[in-house]
């Protein structure tokens, strides 16, 4: 079973720069020798997942074929930005083009989002409270200090899914996962996903299968520094 998962992050980006030069997908894709693959067919399969056939003129996508896998390398100029392998490789030509086209589309999206990702914010330095000054004796009691209520935080992730050898035919779908931290040490999670397989023959007719599932979880939200979370 091979699962191809690409996380799609949603962000709002404002930029005043001039638009970058673009070129057609067919000119940006270089294909290794394979009876099922050529740059035009692979560009059409990729464009089916994108809204536009135009990509950054600096991008170059190399599709390669290995004995038990197919894959791609996405370059921006001379820098390797993304490398993916699909194994085992689909044997049918249509499935091979569809799988590699989806992988290229996800790689292009990931490279574009990474280019526009904002710089990480510098850690906030809390000001040190001033040294308390002892007030003069008085018969008036100071007001009680009210502790600030902790704020609820959370996150949501949307993913595109591709499955090969999960169903009798390649399947594609999406998953949504949400997490809420009502208190800093407890996380409540819920999610669902669905995969729709390509139609395949069955008996006298054909079938388009659907797999769907959901999940709910509660787990401790302990954090150790900024990079490790249990």
Q: Are 98 and 49 in contact (CB under 8 A)?
A: no
- Quote the Cα angle for 219-220-224, to 5°: 135
Distance CA 79, CA 58 (A): 10
Among 65, 70, 160, residue whose Cα is nearest residue 110:
160
Give per-residue pLDDT as tens, 162-206: 877 777 778 888 888 888 777 777 788 899 988 887 887 878 888
* Least trusted range by pLDDT, from 63-67, 103-107, 182-186, 194-198: 182-186
Task: State how far the Cα of 202 lies from the Cα of 208, in Å rounded to an integer.
Answer: 10
pLDDT of residue 192: 92
Domain positions in the chain are: 4-8+23-116, 153-229
Statement: residue 5 has pLDDT above 60: no
Among all chains, which residue has been given the structure tokens 């600030």?
148
Would you say how long the chain is, in residues? 230
pLDDT number for residue 140:
65
Could you give the CA distance from residue 191 to residue 38 in angstroms, rounded to a whole number?
A: 38
Residue 2 has which token pair?
Answer: 């091979």
Percent of the chain with pLDDT over 70: 76
165: left (phi over 0), alpha (psi -120 to 50) or beta: left
Average pLDDT for the chain? 76
Query: pLDDT (tens digit, 9 = 90+) per residue, 17-61?
Result: 455 688 888 888 888 777 888 888 888 888 888 877 888 888 889
Whether residue 3 is predicted with pLDDT greater than 50 in this model: the reply is no
pLDDT band at 107 (very low <50, low <70, confident <90, very high): confident
C-beta of residue 75 within 8 angstroms of C-beta of residue 62:
yes
Question: What is the model's pTM?
Answer: 0.42
């Amino acid at each position: 079973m091979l699962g191809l998962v690409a996380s799609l992050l949603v962000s709002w980006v404002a930029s005043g720069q001039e638009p970058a030069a673009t070129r057609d997908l067919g000119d940006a894709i270089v294909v290794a020798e394979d009876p099922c693959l050529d740059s035009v067919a692979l560009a059409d399969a990729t464009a089916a997942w994108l809204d536009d056939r135009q990509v950054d003129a600096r991008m170059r996508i190399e599709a390669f074929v290995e004995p038990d896998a197919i894959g791609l390398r996405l370059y921006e100029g001379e820098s390797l930005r993304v490398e993916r392998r699909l194994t085992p490789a689909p044997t049918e030509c249509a499935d091979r083009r569809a799988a590699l086209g989806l992988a290229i589309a996800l790689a292009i999206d990931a490279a574009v989002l990474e280019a526009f990702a904002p710089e990480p914010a510098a850690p906030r330095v809390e000001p040190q409270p001033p040294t308390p000054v002892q007030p003069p004796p008085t018969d008036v009691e100071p007001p009680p200090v009210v502790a600030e209520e902790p704020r609820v935080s959370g996150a949501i992730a949307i993913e595109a899914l591709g499955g090969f050898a999960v169903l009798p035919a390649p399947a594609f779908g999406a998953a949504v996962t949400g997490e809420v931290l009502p208190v800093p040490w407890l996380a409540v999670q819920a999610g669902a996903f669905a995969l729709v397989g390509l139609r395949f023959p069955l008996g006298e007719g054909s079938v388009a299968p659907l797999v769907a599932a959901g999940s709910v979880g509660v787990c401790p939200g302990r954090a150790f520094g900024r990079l490790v979370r249990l």
